[in-house]
């Protein structure tokens, strides 16, 4: 309801945020009423997300990829969920198509041809520009969010102030009102003047900030597409190229860089427009935009349009818990019993905090990250010269996103997360070699 009021009244926000929350929430609710495990709950949340987005944007392949790509800011995927998100998004697309039809969300000329070799130069320029815009977009969005947080007024007044600012902006630039799909179509059709397109690139970013950063309810996908479409159409006018081709590629390039989801965006935009002949130039511009954005945003406070993304699976709290559960299972298999007064969940909580857990007879279960200057680096676990403390048993090694068995020939590397059982004297001896997880 909040999103319907925000978007329906003219707020510059998209529909994908609300549908992601609703559909993902349905998946989580279903997991609750059917007593599913935490892992199944995560799968159901992602499948709900993919299904909802697929129905809204008529993009079954792209949204299935988006659901597994968007949790991470690096080139990582929740690969184990892809089969389920693909199935859910295809079913949702088919059901939605029975009611609204099968046409893509945007129309492009049927005679759109593959670009000539010389034209790829302009797509390179568009990719660089899209990377710059994709770097600026999160800064404006979260910068305005922080500014609204600093306002010393009642919370319910902040969206009202944002709405006032949005209304004043719309007096000068009415095209920024709402999701802007109609204006995106006009940019594709080449019906907007070059000066207007240039103003809209930045006006839409400010409008998005005034709407959502002030507390309004809505998504960032559609405004990002708007910004990308106007950017692409602007360069099409500048270089005397096809507005349809450059607007479509611009949409993909800006959102791919700003949200760190290049593969999903590439498929989504081509499915939403039917512009499959543009896959190669779009892939070129998307790749360049992503590389430019990640390089420029490296030292900035806001590196992505989705602030809660983690770099990789190794940084995900969900996968930390999975790794620890596996370690506890290995612990039982090696006949290291857990103390009766400490439950399974208690052990997980202690280990997440970096607190060693006493098992029995002065033996502790602990986790540490191997330091780069440790004498254990580049030595096999089972080698006598490795110098591990006496009676220390490495249960498992987490390297990047992979969990490895600690075989005698396994070579330790700097940054390895070691899950081990050791006596109290071993804890003291390991202090100079490991940092707590």
> ∠56-245-95 over CA atoms, to 5°?
20
* Reported pTM: 0.76
Give CA–CA dist 140/211, Å, rounded: 12
The domain segmentation of the chain, as residue ranges, is 2-296, 315-436
Contact between 283 and 316 under an 8 Å Cβ cutoff? The reply is no
Superfamily of domain 315-436: Regulator of K+ conductance, C-terminal domain (3.30.70.1450)
* Tens-level pLDDT at each residue, the chain (437 residues): 899 999 999 999 988 888 988 999 999 999 999 998 888 898 999 999 999 999 988 999 999 999 999 988 888 888 889 999 999 999 999 999 999 888 888 888 866 667 788 889 999 999 999 999 999 999 999 999 999 999 999 999 999 999 999 999 999 999 999 889 999 999 999 999 999 999 999 999 999 999 999 999 999 999 999 999 999 999 999 999 989 999 999 999 999 999 999 999 999 988 988 888 888 999 999 999 999 999 999 889 999 998 888 777 666 766 666 665 666 565 555 555 544 444 444 555 555 556 676 666 677 777 778 888 888 888 887 755 456 777 787 877 877 666 676 777 788 888 888 888 888 888 888 887 887 64
2-296 folds as Clc chloride channel (1.10.3080)
Contact between 291 and 258 under an 8 Å Cβ cutoff? The reply is no
């Amino acid at each position: 309801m909040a999103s319907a009021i925000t978007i329906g009244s003219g707020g510059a926000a998209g529909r994908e945020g609300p549908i992601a929350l609703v559909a993902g929430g349905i998946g989580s609710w279903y997991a609750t009423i059917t007593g599913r495990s935490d892992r199944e709950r995560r799968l159901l949340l992602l499948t709900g997300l993919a299904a909802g987005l697929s129905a809204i944007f008529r993009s079954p392949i792209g949204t299935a990829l988006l659901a597994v790509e968007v949790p991470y800011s690096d080139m990582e995927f929740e690969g184990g969920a892809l089969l389920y998100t693909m199935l859910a998004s295809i079913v949702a697309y088919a059901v939605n198509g029975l009611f609204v039809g099968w046409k893509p969300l945007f129309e492009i000329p049927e005679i759109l041809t593959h670009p000539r070799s010389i034209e790829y130069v302009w797509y390179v320029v568009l990719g660089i520009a899209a990377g710059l815009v994709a770097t600026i977009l999160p800064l404006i969005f979260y910068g305005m969010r922080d500014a609204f947080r600093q306002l010393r007024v009642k919370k319910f007044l902040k969206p009202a102030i944002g709405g006032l600012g949005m209304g004043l902006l719309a007096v000068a630039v009415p095209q920024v009102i709402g999701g802007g799909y109609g204006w995106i179509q006009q940019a594709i059709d080449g019906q907007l003047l070059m000066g207007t397109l240039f103003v809209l690139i930045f006006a839409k970013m400010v409008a998005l900030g005034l709407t959502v950063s002030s507390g309004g309810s809505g998504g960032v996908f559609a405004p990002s597409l708007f910004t990308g479409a106007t950017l692409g159409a602007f360069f099409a006018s500048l270089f005397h190229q096809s507005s349809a081709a450059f607007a479509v590629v611009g949409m993909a390039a800006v959102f791919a860089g700003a949200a760190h989801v290049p593969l999903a965006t590439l498929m989504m935009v081509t499915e939403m427009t039917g512009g499959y002949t543009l896959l190669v130039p779009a892939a070129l511009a998307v790749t360049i935009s992503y590389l430019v954005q990640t390089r420029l945003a490296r030292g900035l406070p806001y590196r992505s349009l989705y602030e809660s993304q983690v770099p990789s699976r190794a940084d995900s709290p969900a996968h930390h818990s999975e790794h620890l559960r596996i370690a506890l299972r290995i612990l039982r298999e090696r006949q290291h019993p857990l103390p009766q007064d400490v439950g399974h969940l208690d052990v997980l909580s202690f280990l997440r905090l970096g607190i060693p857990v006493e098992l029995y007879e002065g033996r502790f279960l602990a986790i540490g990250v191997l330091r780069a200057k440790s004498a254990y680096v580049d030595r096999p676990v089972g080698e006598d010269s490795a110098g591990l403390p006496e009676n220390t048993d490495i249960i498992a090694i987490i390297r990047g996103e992979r969990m490895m068995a600690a075989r005698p020939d396994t070579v330790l590397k700097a940054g390895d997360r070691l899950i081990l059982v050791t006596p109290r004297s071993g804890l003291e001896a390991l202090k100079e070699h490991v940092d707590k997880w």
